[in-house]
């Protein structure tokens, strides 16, 4: 049997790709993520002028590997660059341990370069896949810890057969939250929050102006605007909550979140928090508002992926977030030799959260 790589043709091999997806990500079985509609949204609805890129590894006619990327744009100081945000990388069971993952990675990223991408990004959480990326020329830039804030312990303790501790643990948690709010939460009468469902995105005034101001304050930032969010928050069967922080009718902060579940615990996943300089200490306004707006979800835990530097800048410890045992990694492969690599490798230059990926 001969192994070869080629551009993936969804018109011919989408059924094979969906079958391989379930084989590699069995936890998605029965969820919207496994559907053809989700695939079409992710890879073929963003912008017809900027198509996603998809490649496959084949053993004769069998699809045994898949490697894809979606175009994301970043502002890098005064320049703009196109990143290949890699996602849904997978190798079938019968092709594992044969170097297919690395070879497909080398082939695909070389194709990215030919397609005019400046660098590629990835966000692995499983350490076992990182050596394969390193062999394909990727570098680890920095860690992205997963931070969490418990709202209740009911499901968490029940899943661990510690239900008898629930009442005591919840009392301690509520007491801690009260003390944090009294001693650490800054207040400002001119600030207020507004809430929007993602299908009302067009009703948020000043959103593009806010993200333009925010982008000028971050050396390396994802270009976020109304057009991007309409796509990013438009996944089939997913609903998002957008919370804005306002002063005198001007946006100074935005939080985006959705309901999710992790290890049987109902959660609120925070895709993004963006706050203008001078208002970082008021991040708790956004956090408390999203908790209040999504209380019907019965969520017991807030989760977000963020660098240690941004976590500290937004003073999220004072919003009762703590580091969990789980860690993502920002990995990157340079495809444009003209990029200032020293600036790119400085963690302080970046603002990276789940919105930079395809997760949630």
Residue 257 is predicted with a pLDDT of 98
Helices (H) and strands (E) in the chain, counts: 11, 13
User: Quick one: pLDDT at residue 111?
Assistant: 98
Q: What does the pLDDT look like over 132-162, one tens digit per residue?
A: 999 999 999 999 999 999 999 999 999 889 8
pLDDT at residue 183, as a whole number: 78
| Residue-range domains of the chain with CATH | 3-122 (3.40.630.30), 146-328 (3.40.630.30)
For the chain, the straight-line distance linking the first and the last C-alpha, in angstroms and rounded, comes to: 38
pTM (two decimals): 0.96
pLDDT number for residue 176: 84
Torsion sign, CA atoms 351, 143, 136, 18: negative
Kindly report, residue by residue over 48-95, the tens digit of the pLDDT.
778 899 999 999 889 999 999 999 999 988 899 999 999 999 999 988
Predicted confidence (pLDDT) at residue 177 exceeds the cutoff of 90: no
Which pLDDT belongs to residue 170? 86
Asked if pLDDT for residue 1 goes beyond 70, the answer is: no
Give the max Cα distance, the chain: 70
Please give the average per-residue pLDDT across 16-36, as a whole number: 96
pLDDT at site 86? 98
State percent of the chain over pLDDT 90: 84
Q: How confident is the model at residue 282 (pLDDT cuts 50, 70, 90)?
A: very high
| Contact (CB, 8 A) for 28 and 39 | no
Reply yes or no on whether the pLDDT at 172 is more than 70. yes
CA distance 69 to 7: 12
Q: Are 305 and 354 in contact (CB under 8 A)?
A: yes
Q: Compute the CA torsion angle 34, 237, 151, 325 (nearest 10 deg).
A: 30
Instruction: Please give the full DSSP string across 100-165, using - where no structure is assigned.
Output: HHHHHHHHHHHHHHHTT-SEEEE----GGGHHHHHHTT-EEEEEEEEEEEES--HHHHHHTT-GGG
């Amino acid at each position: 049997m001969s192994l070869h790589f080629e551009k993936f043709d969804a018109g011919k091999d989408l059924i094979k790709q969906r079958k391989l997806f379930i084989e590699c990500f069995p936890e998605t079985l029965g969820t919207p993520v496994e559907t053809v509609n989700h695939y079409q949204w992710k890879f073929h609805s963003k912008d017809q002028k900027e198509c996603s890129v998809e490649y496959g590894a084949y053993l004769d006619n069998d699809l045994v590997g898949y490697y894809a990327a979606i175009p994301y744009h970043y502002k890098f100081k005064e320049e703009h660059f196109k990143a290949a945000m890699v996602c849904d990388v997978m190798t079938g069971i019968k092709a594992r341990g044969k170097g297919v993952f690395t070879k497909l990675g080398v082939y695909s990223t070389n194709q990215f370069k030919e397609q005019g991408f400046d660098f590629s990004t990835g966000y692995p959480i499983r350490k076992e896949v990182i050596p394969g990326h390193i062999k394909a020329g990727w570098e680890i830039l920095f860690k992205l810890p997963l931070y969490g804030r418990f709202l209740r312990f009911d499901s968490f303790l029940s899943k661990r057969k510690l239900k008898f501790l629930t009442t005591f643990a919840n009392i301690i948690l509520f007491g801690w939250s009260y003390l944090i709010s009294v001693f650490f939460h800054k207040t400002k009468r001119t600030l207020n929050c507004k809430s929007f469902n993602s299908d009302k995105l067009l009703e948020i005034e000043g959103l593009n102006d806010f993200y333009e101001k925010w982008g000028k304050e971050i050396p390396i930032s994802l270009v976020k605007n109304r057009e991007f969010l309409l796509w990013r928050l438009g996944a089939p069967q997913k609903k998002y909550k957008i919370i804005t922080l306002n002063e005198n009718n001007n946006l100074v902060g935005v939080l985006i979140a959705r309901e999710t579940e992790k290890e049987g615990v109902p959660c609120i996943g925070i895709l993004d928090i963006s706050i203008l300089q001078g208002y970082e200490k008021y991040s708790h306004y956004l956090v408390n508002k999203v908790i209040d707006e999504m209380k019907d979800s019965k969520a017991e835990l807030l989760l977000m992926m963020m660098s240690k530097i941004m976590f500290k800048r937004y003073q999220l410890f004072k919003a009762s977030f703590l580091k969990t045992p789980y860690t993502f990694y920002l990995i990157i492969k340079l495809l444009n030799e003209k990029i200032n690599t020293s600036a790119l490798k400085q963690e302080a230059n970046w603002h990276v959260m789940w919105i930079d990926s395809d997760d949630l």
